[in-house]
Amino acid sequence: MNRSLSSRSRRFTVLVAVTASTVLALAGCSSNSGGKKSEESAGGVSAGKATTPRMTIAMITHAVPGDTFWDTIRKGAQAAAAKDNIKLIYSSDPNGGNQANLVQNAIDQKVDGIAVTLAKPDAMKETVAKAMRAGIPVVGFNSGVDDWQKQGLLQYFGQDETVAGEAVGKKLSSLGAKKVACVIQEQGQVALEARCAGVKKGFSGTTENLFVNGADMPSVQSTITAKLKQDPSIDYVVTLAAPVALTATQAVSDGGSRAKVATFDLNKELVKAIQDGSIQFAVDQQPYLQGYLAVDSLWLYKNNGNYSGGGVAPVLTGPAFVDKSNVAAVATFAAKGTR
- Domain residue ranges of the chain, discontinuous segments joined by +: 55-159+287-307, 161-284+324-335
161-284+324-335: same fold as 55-159+287-307?
A: yes
Distances (CA, A) of 225 to 179, 258, 269: 16, 12, 21
DSSP-derived 3-state class of residue 316: strand
What is the fold, at CATH topology level, of the domain defined by 161-284+324-335? Rossmann fold (3.40.50)
> How many Cα atoms within 13 Å fall on the side-chain side of residue 81?
31
Residue 45's pLDDT band, with cuts at 50, 70 and 90, is very low
pLDDT digits (tens, 9 = 90+) for 267-288: 999 999 999 999 999 999 999 9
The mean-pLDDT minimum among 10-19, 51-60, 256-265 falls in 10-19
Task: Give the DSSP H or E segment for 164.
Answer: helix 161-174
* Torsion angle of C-alpha atoms 296, 302, 306, 312, degrees rounded to 10: 90
Report residue 15's pLDDT band, with 50, 70 and 90 as the boundaries: very low
Q: Tell me: the pLDDT tens digits for 228-250?
A: 999 999 999 999 999 999 999 99
Domain 55-159+287-307, CATH: 3.40.50.2300
